[in-house]
A and B are shown apart, each in its own frame.
Chain A
Amino acid sequence: MSTRILNLSRREFLAAGVRAGVGLTLGLSLPGVARVAETPSGQSGTLAPPVFAPNAFVRIGADDRVAVIAKHLEMGQGAHTGMATLVAEELDARWPQIEILAAPADAKRYNNLFWGPAQGTGGSTAIANAFEQMRKAGATARAMLVQAAARAWTVPEQEIEVSEGLLRHSASQRQATFGELAAAAAALPVPDEIALKAPAQFKLIGQDLERKDLWPKIDGTAVFTQDVERPGMLVAVVAHPPRFGAKVRSFDPVETLKQPGVRQVVSIPSGIAVLGDHYWAAELGRRALKVDWDERAAMVEGSAEISAQYRRRLEQPGVAARAEGDPDTLLARAARVVRADYAFPFLAHAAMEPMNCVIERRGEGGVELWYGAQVQTADQAAVARTLGLEPTQVRINTLFAGGSFGRRANPASDYVVEAAEILKAIEGRSPVKLVWSREDDMRAGWFRPAYMHRMEAVLGEDGLPVAWRNRIVGQSIAAGTAFESLLVEEGVDATSVEGAANLPYDIPNLKVELQTTELPVPIQWWRSVGSTHTGYATETFIDALAREAGRDPVAYRRALLAKHPRHLGVLALAVKHSQWGQPIAANRGRGVAVHESFNSYVAMVAEVTLEEGGRYRVDLVDVAVDCGIAVNPDIIRAQMEGGLGFGLSALLADEITIEAGAVVQSNFSGYRVLRANQMPQVRVHIVPSAESPTGVGEPATPVIGPAVANALAAITGRLYSQLPVRTA
């Protein structure tokens, strides 16, 4: 494999070099900070000048340090390490000489190539979209270093070898570090074309390189938004309405302002903000605040009413997201129809770091923000609209995010806009750190929507399905957002039906229908999005059909997947490593599931023990994943482990309920999540592959639920269709 590319013009390169020379030599290097490239505030890299800056992603200092500018948010998934690995591979750098700077908000240079002109991280796209781009960035830098060495030593470029951060000419026994050649390389034109390594030449890709954020996240020095301090900064908390749709009628700040350390109380569109010297002062001030809420426009229904409405809508046909053959007639005429109705609750993301954001006014009229920004371009535009600025006047310093699971890619930039509103309300007089409590975070909404599915099938004489109808009822995540034009087509939100409309099983009469509902509950993507419910419904239902036909669930799937080699590949690998088909105790069971999401394929075999009173324990999970070329196998294993844990939490415990427009749960006392003693042993098996890499952050999440439910079904014979499944 050899790829030719066109590179930046020399003029752009020179401009980039000048910017980098200034930006990267300012300021302090704070250990553990996801340091930000090229900001004027001083939180930048510290490479020694002159700095070689061949493109937007690579900086090499005279001190032989290499900075990789990461365009993707590090929220735990390993994107920083992945970006750096791709650059270091083609640069032939030493891994320890690489450090990482977070890219500034600049969609021109740092857009997600899968998203057009938008910078952002999500949909398990980081490695996939940047695979060539980051390698080209590294290869370009390497080629220029080689050229500089060839000139300095007056030897042919072809005779120069690069390995582990050193350039060598063996005939003349000369060698140089990158740093020694940085100044000379910076004076050369950027080549127009560059060749990339063939996979057989990879040295770093495919290795378990140590994460660049490993030690700061062990010794407590990693800096999150919550840890940012600015001179004169006030901490803000906000009294939010208790019900969706309620507003402030009036408020009385007298008692709040008596609290020591409380500085100001201001009204903003989303509630009343209390600003204090530190969090505890602001929090006590909020507790003393008297707010009269105007609830005339507030949501009145709750989860029970929503469920009743959805059940009625399950009876009516929806918009077809896929239609092949004539399943309606077959279902109407069949002597026996297998049918199940599924219910999925609202789910909170509940990242360990509740939403927060630091914002301050800059001298020349713009603003600067520090937080775990996930879709910088959307947030930049939203803050600009809020404050009457141009997007380029909104500078974003992207820090480590304490988890996201989709939450920080908020279509309305909700908490970021709230921070901007507070800054506006105090006329920019001091920097503001907006801090949400756990309760604020959990009650704000932006949940994984509640859904219902009706699954119906007719089996043929061979026991395989001849007709399949899957009706889905739920809110659209994309409707009414900037993503609508991208994701909604002819009334079908792709995120509502993904994983169902592209069902891989070969069934001649097949229909997937969608009924899109509208509710005042704010909703958004939650790790693996549509597959959170479609993966569960389709994979438990296919298992139910196998039971109905009296067939082995693995053999049944194989019979229907002949056209899908990658599904078959992961299925075979997971089964091979498991004890599938071996004898097992009566109170124990094995279940299987296979599902593709975000172009990655995952199969799992779960072993489950049923205990007293219907309680159950997941003992062991064999996971097989096909994500193309494995850039960092250990990070892939970690994402499979964590991703399935996140999905297991939703099977075992997670549930948001709403009563009269108010969220019932407020903290981890009511919103139960997976804990260490519920986590199974996990064995991850990676399919060897030469395909382009695809994502790993999400694809494990939707597979564990059906694998475990199918294991329970193997013991009890029941189909578990109401989530969460707290007892079997």
Chain B
Amino acid sequence: MQILTINGAEHRIDAPPEMPLLWAIRDLVGLKGTKYGCGIAQCGACTLLINGLPQRSCVLPLSATVGRAITTIEGLDDRVGQAVKSAWAELAVPQCGYCQSGQVMAATGLLSRNPSPTDAEIADQMAGNICRCCTYHRVKQAVRRAADALA
């Protein structure tokens, strides 16, 4: 039995400690916003925040997250997260949408640590999140827009 703190609520999970956090959150807790894309921390679709830092939940064992604050897209309501989501809407970033919660979480993690990133820092930090629709042009603009709104 593991106790996870997700979006401020405690969840008791009966699962082996090596189970990836992604599948526990999706299939056992039932929060579906965090997506599976590769399973090997290559694409970023499963990005969520742990103690405010972006992490790839597909390779993170449950045991490593006990006692930490997990934030998924469903619980993203802090000032930075709100600014990121607003910027995403203003620029109409999503196409198919499947990778976008991971993109939004990565952008929130980036701006939480670095409120005024350079364009190169935005491009490099967001390079961890693959979008096959290639919304990258707007992703980068939206991170800039959110940073400006927060400044």
Q: Name A residues whose Cβ lies closer than 8 Å to a Cβ of B.
A: 75-78, 208, 210-211, 213-224, 226-227, 229, 235, 260, 278-280, 349-354, 400-405, 437-439, 634, 638, 641-646, 648-649, 667-669, 673-682
- Given A77-B95, A220-B74, A280-B23, decide whether A403 and B127 contact each other with a Cβ distance below 8 A: no
Indicate which residue in A77, A354, A673 contacts B130 across the interface (CB closer than 8 Å): A673
B129 within 8 Å of A (CB atoms): yes
Residues on the A chain within 8 Å of B19, using CB: 280
- Known contacts A214-B94, A280-B27, A676-B123, A220 near B101 by CB under 8 Å: yes
CB neighbors of A among B88-141 (8 A) = 88-89, 92-101, 104, 122-124, 126-140
18 more CB-based (< 8 A) A-B contacts, given A76-B133, A77-B95, A211-B92: A216-B97, A217-B94, A218-B88, A219-B76, A220-B33, A224-B98, A226-B32, A226-B36, A279-B23, A352-B35, A352-B37, A352-B43, A402-B97, A403-B132, A644-B134, A646-B132, A648-B134, A676-B123
Q: Is A280 in contact with B20, judged by CB distance below 8 angstroms?
A: yes
Whether a CB of chain A sits under 8 angstroms from the CB of B150 is no
**B35 to chain A: which residues have CB within 8 Å?**
224, 226, 352-353, 402
Return chain A residues, CB-CB under 8 Å to B72. 220
**Chain B contact patch, size range:** 35 or more
Q: Which residue of B lies closest to A681 (CB)?
A: B137
| Chain B contacts for A213, CB-based, 8 A | 94, 97
Give 10 closest A-B pairs by Cβ, nearest first.
Answer: A645-B134, A220-B33, A217-B97, A402-B98, A76-B96, A220-B73, A76-B95, A278-B27, A679-B136, A217-B94
Given contacts A634-B92, A676-B129, contact A641 B137 (CB under 8 A): yes
The reply to whether B132 and A351 contact each other, CB–CB distance below 8 Å, is: yes
**Residues A669 and B33 in contact, CB atoms below 8 Å apart:** no
| Nearest Cβ on chain A to B65's Cβ, whole angstroms | 15
- Give the CA-CA distance A232 to B82 in the complex, in Å: 37
CB distance from A4 to the nearest CB of B (A): 36
Q: Which listed residue, B85, B128, B140, touches A218 by the CB 8 Å rule? A: B85
Task: Tell me the minimal C-beta distance from B149 to chain A in angstroms.
Answer: 15
Is there an interface contact between A642 and B134, defined as CB atoms closer than 8 Å? yes
Contact B136–A219 (Cβ < 8 Å): no
Most B-side CB within 10 Å, residue of A353, A400, A676: A676
Docked CA distance A678–B20 (Å): 30
CB–CB A667/B98 < 8 A: no
Task: Give Cα A73–Cα B72 distance, bound, in whole angstroms.
Answer: 28
Inside 8 A of B33's CB, which chain A residues have their CB? Answer: 219-221
CB of A674 within 8 A of CB of B137, answer no
A175 to B122, CA, bound (A): 52
- Decide yes or no whether B28 CB sits under 8 A from chain A: yes
Which residues of chain A have C-beta atoms less than 8 A from B36's C-beta? 226, 279, 354
- B45 at the A/B interface (Cβ < 8 Å)? yes
- Report how far A644 CA is from B135 CA in the complex, Å: 10
B64 interfacial by beta-carbon distance below 8 Å: no
Asked if A642 contacts B85 (CB within 8 A), the reply is no
By beta carbon, the residue of chain B nearest A210 is: B92
Q: Are A642 and B135 in contact (CB under 8 A)?
A: yes
* B40 contacts the other chain (CB 8 A): yes
B104 touches A438 (CB 8 A): no
B66 at the interface (CB under 8 A from A): no
Chain A hits for B51, CB < 8 A: none
Q: Determine the chain B residues whose CB is within 8 A of the CB of A351 once the complex forms.
A: 96, 98, 132
Min CB distance B117 to A, Å, is 12
By a CB distance below 8 angstroms, the chain B residues around A223 are: 32
- B86: shortest Cβ distance to chain A, in Å? 9
Shortest B115–chain A CB gap in Å is 19
Output the nearest chain B residue to A635 by Cβ-Cβ distance: B92
In B1-49, the 8 Å CB interface with A consists of 15-16, 19-20, 23-24, 26-28, 30, 32-40, 42-43, 45
Chain B residues whose CB sits within 8 angstroms of the CB of A669 once the complex forms: 40, 42
List 10 A-B pairs, Cβ < 8 Å.
A210-B92, A218-B94, A279-B23, A280-B24, A352-B37, A438-B37, A634-B92, A673-B130, A675-B130, A676-B139
With A641-B137, A673-B130, A681-B137 as contacts: A218 and B100 at CB distance below 8 Å: yes
**A residues within 8 A CB of B135?**
638, 641-642
* Chain B residues, Cβ within 8 Å of A681: 137
CA distance A352 to B94 in the complex (A): 13
What's the minimum C-beta distance from B33 to chain A, rounded to whole angstroms? 3
Bound-complex Cα distance A362 to B133 (A): 35
The CA of A353 and the CA of B24, in the complex, are separated in Å by: 18
> Which residues does chain A contribute within 8 Å of B136, judged by CB atoms?
645, 674-676, 678-679
Smallest Cβ-Cβ distance to B123: which chain A residue:
A677
Pairwise interchain contact B123-A641, C-beta atoms closer than 8 A: no
Q: Give B151 Cβ to nearest chain A Cβ, in Å.
A: 21
Using A641-B135, A679-B137 as known contacts, say yes or no to A437 and B39 having CB atoms under 8 A apart: yes
A33 to chain B, nearest CB (A): 11
Whether A219 contacts B73 by the Cβ 8 Å rule is yes
What is the distance, in angstroms, from A126's C-beta to the closest C-beta of chain B? 14
Contact residues in B for A280 (Cβ distance below 8 Å): 15, 19-20, 23-24, 27
Say whether B42 contacts A667, CB under 8 Å.
yes
Chain B residues whose CB sits within 8 angstroms of the CB of A220 once the complex forms: 32-34, 72-74, 101, 104
Q: Which residues of chain B come closer than 8 Å to A401, judged between CB atoms?
A: 96
A contact residues around B95 at 8 Å (CB) = 76-78, 638, 642
Q: Is the CB of B96 within 8 A of A676?
A: no
Say whether B134 contacts A352, CB under 8 Å.
no
- Whether the Cβ atoms of A649 and B134 lie closer than 8 Å is yes
Residues of B70-88 whose CB lies within 8 A of A: 72-74, 76, 85, 88
- Compute how far the CA of A715 lies from the CA of B45 in the bound complex, rounded to whole angstroms: 37
**Also in contact, A352 and B98, with CB within 8 A (given A280-B23, A645-B134, A674-B136):** yes
**Residues of the A chain whose Cβ atoms lie less than 8 Å from the Cβ of B131:** 352, 676
Contact B130 A218 (CB under 8 A): no
Chain B CB count within 10 A is highest, among A214, A400, A646, A649, for: A214
Q: Which of B123, B129, B132, B137 contacts A350 (CB 8 A)?
A: B132
Q: Is B133 a contact partner of A642 (Cβ separation < 8 A)?
A: yes
Q: Are B92 and A638 in contact (CB under 8 A)?
A: yes
Known: A673-B132, A675-B130, A682-B137. A403 touches B98 (CB 8 A): yes
Please report the C-alpha to C-alpha distance between residue A680 and residue B96 in the assembled complex, in whole angstroms.
20
Q: Give the CA-CA distance A229 to B31 in the complex, in Å.
A: 12
In the complex, A581 Cα to B68 Cα: how many Å? 58
Q: Which residues of B are found within 8 Å of A279, using beta-carbon distances?
A: 23, 26-27, 36
Q: Which of A404, A634, A644, A668 contacts B38 (CB 8 A)?
A: A668
Q: How far is the CA of A541 from the CA of B130 in the complex (A)?
A: 32
CB of B137 to closest CB in A, whole Å: 5
Which residues of the partner chain A approach B129 to less than 8 Å between Cβ atoms?
A: 676
Which residue of A has the minimal Cβ distance to B141? A681
